[in-house]
Structure 1
Amino acid sequence: MSMHIPPPYSPGGDYPDERTRLLPRPPHSDGYLDPDDPAVSPYNLWTVRFLRYFTVLFCTLTFLWWVLLLVSIFVSPPGMHSRGSGFFDFSYTTLTIGNLLVALLFFTSPSKAMRVSQAIVAGFLLVDMIIIVAVGRTRAEEGWVGIAAVIWATVMAIWCVITDRVVAWGKREEEERLTGRPETRRTLLEWLSVLIATIILVIFIIITIFMTATLTIRARDASLPVPGKRIFVDGGKYQVHLACVGNATTVNGERVPTVLLEAGEHPVEYDFERWAYSAWGNRTIGRYCYWDRPGYGWSDNAPSPHSAAMSATALAEALAQTGEMGPWILVSAGYGSIVSRIFSSTHSGDVAGIMLVDPLHEDLLSRIGSAGRGFILWGYGIISPLGIERVLGALFKGRTRQDRVYGRSAYQNGKFIKAQLQENLVAESLTKNDISSARTIQPKDTPLVVISSGIKVRSDSTWGNKQEDLTRITDNLLAWSVVNQAPHEVWKTLKGRQAMDEGLKKLIQAWEA
């Protein structure tokens, strides 16, 4: 027995297409459906279904890309290292996922407000795309990953506008075909959906405005003249900044030691280098060099993970490429003392002396390597492309390019946050192993001066005990000065600067002897 299945109803008797009725015409009716009938849906159109399938596909691909970028913040995959912070491309991809999710969640509730909002977002993203491509420094820092993230965000924002417009057309077409007229009313649920979607998109507009303003500020900061040079290191993966002041001199055929500065928890140009410039100006020293660790000041971020020994290697490579030679008097502060001690142990033949200014002890690396601090740094880094503080500081507080690159506002920079996150992640693993090995091979006859913060020593007994322990990393301690009323950044007080000047003189005298 065979069963005959009648073909779908088709007014023209042709094959079914997007306009073919899905339901037979009820008897004794005018052929139209009730507006609230579930069959009245834009999903009847193949075009609408096509757009939804592709939006789901784009959202899935973007999410996978987002996961890869999240991982790259902590471990840089081959070929994906960004000389910028790594937070930039991640944040733009997060915005892209948000746009696509809004388009999917409110797919059947298209509205003019949503289209206008998405168009505004797309417009600002287009401006961002132009800036990142046109400004050489931002283009170099973000690389192909950052450029791709901005372009993809722009394309997806435009896609969402087109999708919403096509769904609105499809909804009107199906209503007119199946009910006899376009539906002008909305249910309470539809109005609520439109309201929620619009509020979310307005938030996206505000976010995009801040991101565009921050990128504009970055482009402005890129024009700040760089003292010294930027040098490619680690096989050309990134650049570090190195500068020297004064001319190399010799005494009895030997080069006079050059002071080599290593910053603590802030860029070296923020006050620390000013002290060295004053010491050079009053002829306490004849020459000094300073550099920015990866992520600080004018230096790029290094691939993750990045330890103190890797910073010391980058410094040695930069010095070699620029033809700078020792002997060196290493002057370092805080965390920078870890890097300086590693450099000293691996280049002992070029080191004439070491001065540690309120240095961080290896047993206290846990203070910068705690999980809580790492999570806060990561969270702060994620929102750093918004640049709310930077934008408001530039508009209402008169913050200058110098403030943002190496001054009081440098902590707002995504590169700076990434550098501190890198230090946090490996503090108690790679870096602690590096400095333990360095202490073992440190030559015991190297002249040593330690300058400690009186405030820190008195308020933190553990810190004070570890300062004393650091006076024993060599057997040639020239002086240990605990400067009363001096903070951790000892050079910010007159007595601190005087103690540091005296320490330098003793190291120079030890070399001359």
Structure 2
Amino acid sequence: MAPRDPEDSRREPTERDRLLPDQQQNRNNHGRSDGYLDPDDPAVSPYNLFAVRAARGFTVLFLAISFIWWVLLFVSIFISPPGLHTRGSGFTDFAFTTLTTGLLLLSLLFFSEPSLAMRVCQSTIAVLLLVDLIIIVTVPQIRGQEGPPGIASVVWTTLMAAYCVFTDRLVAWGKKEEEERLTGRPESRRTLKQWLAVLAATIFLVIYIIIAILMTAALIIRSRDATLEMEGKRYWVDDDKYQVHLACIGDDKSSHGNSSTPTILLESAESPLEYDLEHWAYAAWNNGTIDRYCYWDRPGYAWSDNAPSPHSAGMSAENLADALAQAGEQGPFILVSAGYGSIVGRIFASRKSDKILGIMLIDPLHESYLSDVGSPTRGFFLWGYGIISPLGIRRIIGALFQGRTREDRVYGKDADQTGKLIKARLQENLVAQSLTKSEISTARSIQDKDTPLVVVSSGIKTGKSEEWGHNQKEATKITDNLLSWDVVNKAPHYVWQTYDGRKVMEKRLKQLVKAAAASSPFTEEVAEE
């Protein structure tokens, strides 16, 4: 063994020095006489290298940042802090941040056990996330819905996935370097504990790959759905925070100077209106029962963006009034609303009573049922369903095996699988027993009692529930001018889904139009002109 330089004894040791002072001590402690450590010695560790220790420190820092961002996004689902509102559901950026946190946590747990399998899995995830980023940035509708928080989340997740690949490779290099320096050769064998660690990490990463694949497929479907054309336009509301969709069909009365003929204003039940109720209105317009009708999507429904949380029925009513004003629709209106939409419609009618010539309620939700809408159990399940909605499992199955179309997903039978509609229902749930309950109570007290009213109820629901039937009768008393109340035999909650329901609804709509024309103050104004 070469004599040690006196200068070496005075300088501080570095990570390139051997850890044992001499060959004799090595022989006594480890049974080797070549000056190297045993491969199982705890001193043989990649943590001896500053670069590896720094990478682990940065991983802890990035995990802390991701967790703080995760908490902020979690809170924004329920109460939107300034700058964190997205016009989309908010579940997508939350899902990406959850994936980021999982990747970094897994990287920390198995930091000292790098493997080729882990690097391949992490690289696969990084590529999939890069595809997600490209989709979000290049599709205008998705980019607008996700906004800066969503884009920042997917960029951060992509960077962290690439960073995990880098750290795993760095630790593998450091492990090899230290083994060569301290044991004389790189170690190719692993203990059973190490193999189990690699296996566990790989299993988790494979699960993350499946999640990333599902999220990518869901984004591809969203980009496909974004190409579906709509009737009407989208209007910025609530100080330009988000857009709602409004469309009108029929003659534009304002261009003919005839404002005596009322426009039918449709308000959907618990699902997008385009799937069912709009078809009935189109048929009524096509056969001459009505001259013009308008319909819209509440925030989160069909083509409308999500509103910031909290969002109540009264806020939706204000959104409708704002959109109508921007579209130049001055009325007068006959309001036709169904189910939960009757709550929104009644609030709108009470606040805009000078423009409402008639009200038609189709199996309306009575305010006493807001406790069911605001049930904590229902809210928990809506939240849970929203959290997994970015995976798009049902939408992917529907598209691949059940022939579901863009129409089905945007406003049809699969619309309730989209994060936007789930978020809208969660918002309805959160304020049902507070803001919305107060708003509908005020609406009942200020409602114009002379407004003609028609109520059409479901025979099935009234037959099954005495309480539902009683509350349908209570709905006939919101004004003092009830024209008719029909309970349609064998009709479901969505009364228009049966032929008898559609026939009764059209008959009563004719009655309302006739009553509105006879009592309209707008008729006198036109005659004077």
| 2:154 is aligned with 1:154 | no
Corresponding residue number in structure 2 for 1:346: 351
Q: Secondary structure at the match of 1:363?
A: helix
| 2:17 is aligned with 1:20 | yes
1:197 and 1:246 mapped to 2: Cα distance?
A: 62
Corresponding residue number in structure 1 for 2:135: 131
Corresponding residue number in structure 1 for 2:524: none
Pairing of 1:68-467 with structure 2 (within 5 A): 68-249=72-253, 254-467=259-472
User: Does the C-alpha gap of structure 1 residues 55 and 360 become closer, same or farther in structure 2, counting only changes over 3 Å?
Assistant: same
Assess if the C-alpha contact under 8 Å between 1:9 and 1:21 holds in 2: no
Assess if the C-alpha contact under 8 Å between 2:248 and 2:294 holds in 1: yes
Corresponding residue number in structure 2 for 1:47: 51
2:13 and 2:150 mapped to 1: Cα distance?
A: 46
Cα deviation 1:259-299 (Å, max 9, x = unaligned): 00000000010111000000101111110000000000000
| 2:486 is aligned with 1:489 | no
RMSD between superposed Cα atoms in Å: 1.7
Q: Which amino acid letter does the alignment assign opposite residue 84 of structure 2?
A: M
Cα deviation 1:330-385 (Å, max 9, x = unaligned): 00000000000000000000000000000000011111110001000000000000
2:327 and 2:20 mapped to 1: Cα distance?
A: 80
Q: Which amino acid letter does the alignment assign opposite residue 167 of structure 1?
A: V
TM-score (norm 2): 0.94
Give the C-alpha shift of residue 254 in structure 1: 4.1
| Structure 2: gaps (5+ residues) | 28-32, 519-529
Q: Secondary structure at the match of 1:298?
A: coil
1:212 and 1:256 mapped to 2: Cα distance?
A: 50
Assess if the C-alpha contact under 8 Å between 2:18 and 2:181 holds in 1: no
Give the C-alpha shift of residue 253 in structure 1: 5.4
2:131 and 2:39 mapped to 1: Cα distance?
A: 42
Q: Which amino acid letter does the alignment assign opposite residue 85 of structure 1?
A: S
| 2:477 is aligned with 1:480 | no
2:345 and 2:198 mapped to 1: Cα distance?
A: 59
Give the C-alpha shift of residue 39 in structure 1: 0.5
2:507 and 2:283 mapped to 1: Cα distance?
A: 13
Q: Secondary structure at the match of 1:288?
A: strand
Give the helix-richer structure, 1 or 2. Answer: 2
TM-score (norm 1): 0.97
Q: Secondary structure at the match of 2:403?
A: coil
Assess if the C-alpha contact under 8 Å between 1:309 and 1:434 holds in 2: yes
User: Does the C-alpha gap of structure 1 residues 229 and 105 become closer, same or farther in structure 2, counting only changes over 3 Å?
Assistant: same
Q: Which stretch of the first structure deviates more once superposed, 364-373 or 308-317? A: 364-373
Assess if the C-alpha contact under 8 Å between 1:262 and 1:331 holds in 2: yes
Assess if the C-alpha contact under 8 Å between 1:89 and 1:146 holds in 2: yes
User: Does the C-alpha gap of structure 1 residues 454 and 194 become closer, same or farther in structure 2, counting only changes over 3 Å?
Assistant: same
Q: Which amino acid letter does the alignment assign opposite residue 362 of structure 1?
A: E
Q: Secondary structure at the match of 1:51?
A: helix
2:160 and 2:167 mapped to 1: Cα distance?
A: 10
Count residues with an aligned counterpart.
Answer: 507
Assess if the C-alpha contact under 8 Å between 1:19 and 1:45 holds in 2: no
1:372 and 1:511 mapped to 2: Cα distance?
A: 43
Assess if the C-alpha contact under 8 Å between 1:248 and 1:255 holds in 2: no
Spell out structure 1 runs of 4+ moving beyond 2 A.
Answer: 7-18, 20-26, 248-255
Q: Which stretch of the first structure deviates more once superposed, 22-31 or 56-65? A: 22-31
Q: Secondary structure at the match of 2:236?
A: strand
Give the C-alpha shift of residue 22 in structure 1: 3.9
Q: Which amino acid letter does the alignment assign opposite residue 350 of structure 1?
A: K
| Structure 1: gaps (5+ residues) | 1-6
2:291 and 2:186 mapped to 1: Cα distance?
A: 85
